[in-house]
Copies of this chain bind each other. A is one copy, B any other.
Amino acid sequence: MSESENFDIVVVGAGIIGVATAYYLQKNNPNKTILLLDRYLAAGQANTAMSAAAVRNMFASSTNQLLTDTTIKFIEHVQEELGYDLFFEKCGYLWLLSDSQFNSESVQMWMKRMEASGIHYKAYDKQQLKEMMPGLNVDFQGSEEAELMNLKEVSYGLFGGDCGVLDPTRYVEFYLEEFRKIGTVKPRYGVNVESLILEADPKLELPGEPFVWQNKRVIGVKTDKGEIRAECVVLATGAWANELLDPIGMNSKTKVKKRQMFVVHGAENEGLKQLLSTKGFNEVDMCPFVIMPSAGVYFRPQKQEQGFWIGCGDKLGREYKYIQTDDDLVPESAYYENSMFPVLSAYFPDFATTRPVNSWAGSYCYSPDAIPFVYYENGVLVANGASGSGIMKADAMARIADALYRGLPEAELYGGKKIASETLTIKKRNVEIESVVI
């Protein structure tokens, strides 16, 4: 047998889910040795850093509502009560909707379900929106371009005041610092996990093991720096889960698309400056995170750089593809110019004279129902498939992962709410399909 190191738990992936899970596992299992691994040279450098870094509790499924609402409340607690600045700004989310969208069965159901769960939101009409956001174009009447582009005219705004934006790196660092305070093992970076080691249990030392009639479990990971054995391997690898699970015959059930973000600065533009400091929606006199009624285009205010991050939840026409090389992560300027920019500047004409000053791309990891997976099977504790909302679900997912590890029937989320530990598993999954996906 080759030499290998031993730990009780190895956490693969130091993105937001990985660091949060490592922290709760260590906190509630103080005698366990927990090694946190990442292939990048620091924590939170991969898709966590590439995200829009916004948090919302405005979901339609009660599961996502619970996961995000408790996580956001924890984020507030960290910043307000623990005094750890996450640059969390409660600017809110604003969905701009056409008349037919607002009155559709799915939006009406969404609102009803938010009310049932006590998720705060407010509906604004066109007139109110126009007054609060003078730069918003709510009148496409007679515009041939708008018709050609299938742009739906804004009639309503659905606003969630408990939503906001934060700095993902700060949030990763919070968990990491807390984890390092109580942990005994130093996290390791620049370590690439190449495969999970699946072994017969018990091992018979026969050639060709494991056979189909043997019990099997994952007993560690093979990395580019050697083998590491652990009683439990936590997989917090997000978009890369398939690379490790497929070869041992576990189905991650997730799939990946590229997503891109383009940065536009507003300091030199009167209209955008005014938009950035939009009043009336929130207590911080800031522009909310805004989702346009058409084509999935959205923007997020970025206060520190006086700008906006512009993204697009494109669906049909954007290939599913595992992102494996740096080439896959090059943002496409033609995509911004031809697909996103025309939509953005039709609704907010002040953007018409701007150009992106920065851009990046990452991987978006879809689960089949847009609800995350947290399950513990065959020695692997998987926490992934957050479907574009890992940051806003991280705290809840990590607590559920820890409850599964400890064999508890329920996990206690921040604020005391409980959830059955098996809710997000594959085998005992008990969730509604999420319909409000960006």
Q: Quick one: closest B residue to A151, CB to CB?
A: B213
Contact status of A211 and B339, CB under 8 A, knowing A248-B319, A251-B366, A320-B251: yes
B150 touches A213 (CB 8 A): yes
A343 touches B248 (CB 8 A): no
Minimum Cβ distance to chain B for residue A224 (Å): 21
- Interface assignment of A222: CB less than 8 Å from any CB of chain B: no
Q: Quick one: closest B residue to A198, CB to CB?
A: B317
B213 touches A317 (CB 8 A): no
**Stretch with Cβ within 8 A of B (4 or more), from A7-15, A161-169, A171-179, A293-301:** A293-301
A213 touches B319 (CB 8 A): no
Complex alpha-carbon distance, A226 and B118, angstroms? 56
Using a CB-CB cutoff of 8 Å, which residues 354-374 of chain A contact chain B? 366, 368
Complex alpha-carbon distance, A312 and B198, angstroms? 19
- Interface assignment of A321: CB less than 8 Å from any CB of chain B: yes
Using a CB-CB cutoff of 8 Å, which residues 216-256 of chain A contact chain B? 216, 242, 245-251, 253, 255
Pick the contact of A150: B215, B255, B294, B314 (CB < 8 A): B215
Q: Quick one: closest B residue to A255, CB to CB?
A: B251
Residues of the B chain whose Cβ atoms lie less than 8 Å from the Cβ of A314? 212, 249
B378 touches A212 (CB 8 A): no
Complex alpha-carbon distance, A350 and B311, angstroms? 65
A249 touches B319 (CB 8 A): yes
What DSSP secondary structure best describes chain A's contact surface?
loop
Q: Quick one: closest B residue to A218, CB to CB?
A: B316
Residues of the B chain whose Cβ atoms lie less than 8 Å from the Cβ of A335? 212
- Interface assignment of A186: CB less than 8 Å from any CB of chain B: no
Q: How many copies of this chain sit in the oligomeric assembly? A: 2
B216 touches A317 (CB 8 A): yes
Residues of the B chain whose Cβ atoms lie less than 8 Å from the Cβ of A211? 338-339, 342
- Interface assignment of A382: CB less than 8 Å from any CB of chain B: no
A297 touches B248 (CB 8 A): no
Q: Quick one: closest B residue to A313, CB to CB?
A: B212
Minimum Cβ distance to chain B for residue A357 (Å): 21
Pick the contact of A212: B148, B214, B343 (CB < 8 A): B343
Pick the contact of A213: B213, B246, B295, B321 (CB < 8 A): B295
A212 touches B312 (CB 8 A): yes
Minimum Cβ distance to chain B for residue A194 (Å): 15
Q: Quick one: closest B residue to A210, CB to CB?
A: B317
B334 touches A296 (CB 8 A): no
Complex alpha-carbon distance, A340 and B334, angstroms? 55
A378 touches B316 (CB 8 A): yes
Residues of the B chain whose Cβ atoms lie less than 8 Å from the Cβ of A248? 316-317, 319
B366 touches A213 (CB 8 A): no
Complex alpha-carbon distance, A212 and B245, angstroms? 33
Q: Quick one: closest B residue to A315, CB to CB?
A: B249
- Identify the 8 closest CB pairs spanning chains A and B, nearest first: A212-B339, A213-B295, A246-B320, A249-B318, A211-B339, A149-B213, A212-B295, A247-B319
- Given A212-B296, A213-B295, output 7 extra A-B contacts at Cβ < 8 Å: A198-B316, A246-B321, A247-B320, A248-B317, A249-B318, A250-B316, A251-B320
